[in-house]
Amino acid sequence: MATINKYRGKFKVSIRRQFHKPIYKTFSRLQDARDWALETERKLLKGLYEDLTEANKTTLADILERYGKEKIPRYKSQEAPLYMIKKIAKHNIGQTTLTNLTTFRLIKYRDEIASTRTKSTANKYITLISVAIKAAINEWDIYLPKNPAFHVPRLEERKKITRILVNGEYPRLLDAATSSKLHYLKAMIIVAYETGARRGELIKLKESNVNWAKSTALLLDTKTNTDREIALSPKCVEALKSVPLSITKQFFPVKSKGQFRFYWDQCKKNAGISDLKFHAIRHTFVTLKLEEGWSIAEVSAQTGHADLKSLQTYQHIRPKHLVKKFNLKA
């Protein structure tokens, strides 16, 4: 039921209904207050009322900040989304209220990012905005008739096949890493090359996870949300034993992605290599082991790939290996 009270020359309408948040609005004219109250109650009865009060005063930056505090801590990798949240907050789109945030404005923002970054990065920004707005609507009681980011078309990404180490690049990397100020970089490269483990898995690896007697290591909380035991080659064991342990007993205590990227890029430059991601070492391991005759099951057990399809994206069958196959049949 609506009530109208006069206060300091203004007319304040209050509407209270069971199972609905109180609705308030202030008017200069009594007739306007009465008209709005009648129309609002009519919409409430028919289930047509849209309460945009919170959305009108909440900006995109506001919900992203909350999303960063409440949701991002559950992410396995938090650095990238937190960085994106800061970038959006500094952009004028971050100061846009949710009611003024349209699909068209988000498309322009997507294209602006894609003009200086990759299409993949632009898509990730829109996805982050979309999930934050979804949380605001479904969990934080902020009403919006629709999620404007949900309807933003994602840019088509060209699928890149990460290359593998070739033409003596591995020894050149090791030589360059020897003089790196990141004291464990060389050992980290060796362990990645000898095990096929992901960078994130190596960063988490502690001495307590290694069974020196059995030459195995237990990788905890991997990308597939499972623990995985891997085999360690003699070269891998030697590399691990050469690393002074951190206070946390980690072999490779990377402080941040930025720190690691700096020293990795420096190492590549000194080795005369430009277009190489650290993940390429994992691709190299898969390729070499398949060429050496390891079965798909054996490679999968070591690398943690859940199925053949995902493993095939890492497989680089080199022509020279096929030539050897022909020669064996000759």
Angle at the Cα of 164 from the Cα atoms of 162 and 170, rounded to 5 degrees:
140
> Which distant-in-sequence residues (6+ apart) come within 8 Å of 58 by Cβ?
97, 98, 136, 142
Whether residues 131 and 82 fall in one domain: yes
Percentage of the chain with pLDDT > 90? 49
Residue 38 is assigned to a structural domain of this protein: yes
Whether residues 225 and 195 fall in one domain: yes
Residue 156 is assigned to a structural domain of this protein: no
Residue 105 is assigned to a structural domain of this protein: yes
Whether residues 63 and 14 fall in one domain: no
Whether residues 73 and 38 fall in one domain: no
Whether residues 32 and 63 fall in one domain: no
Residue 150 is assigned to a structural domain of this protein: no
Which pLDDT does position 330 carry in this prediction?
A: 45
Instruction: Tally the residues of the chain.
Output: 330
Cα dist from 140 to 63, 104, 144, whole Å? 9, 25, 11
Q: Please determine, for residue 135, whether its predicted confidence score (pLDDT) is greater than 70.
A: yes
**pLDDT digits 0-9 by tens, 248-302:** 899 999 888 889 999 999 999 999 998 889 999 998 998 888 888 888 888 888 8
Please tell me the total count of domains within the chain: 3
Average pLDDT over residues 13-21: 73
Q: Strands 10-15 and 2-7, how do they pair?
A: antiparallel
Which pLDDT does position 246 carry in this prediction?
A: 83
Q: Predicted confidence band at 130 (pLDDT cuts at 50, 70, 90)?
A: very high
Whether residues 27 and 122 fall in one domain: no
Which pLDDT does position 175 carry in this prediction?
A: 95
Distance in angstroms (rounded) separating the CA atoms of residues 197 and 210: 14
Whether residues 193 and 319 fall in one domain: yes
Whether residues 94 and 37 fall in one domain: no
**Which of 116, 138, 160 is where one domain is finished?**
138
Beta bridge partners of residue 163, listed in sequence order: none
34 is in which domain, residue-wise? 2-49
Residue 70 is assigned to a structural domain of this protein: yes
Whether residues 265 and 130 fall in one domain: no
SS3 assignment, position 230: strand
**pLDDT digits 0-9 by tens, 187-211:** 999 999 999 999 989 999 999 999 9
Whether residues 184 and 272 fall in one domain: yes
**Which of 92, 118, 138 is where one domain is finished?**
138
Q: Predicted confidence band at 111 (pLDDT cuts at 50, 70, 90)?
A: very high
User: Which residue reads 């700096």 in tokens?
Assistant: 262
Residue 157 is assigned to a structural domain of this protein: no
**Which of 117, 138, 159 is where one domain is finished?**
138
Residue 152 is assigned to a structural domain of this protein: no
What CATH number does residue 244 fall under? 1.10.443.10
**What's the first-to-final CA gap in the chain, in angstroms?**
93
Whether residues 108 and 239 fall in one domain: no
Residue 149 is assigned to a structural domain of this protein: no
**pLDDT digits 0-9 by tens, 45-99:** 766 666 777 888 889 999 999 999 998 888 777 788 999 999 999 999 999 999 8
Whether residues 112 and 261 fall in one domain: no
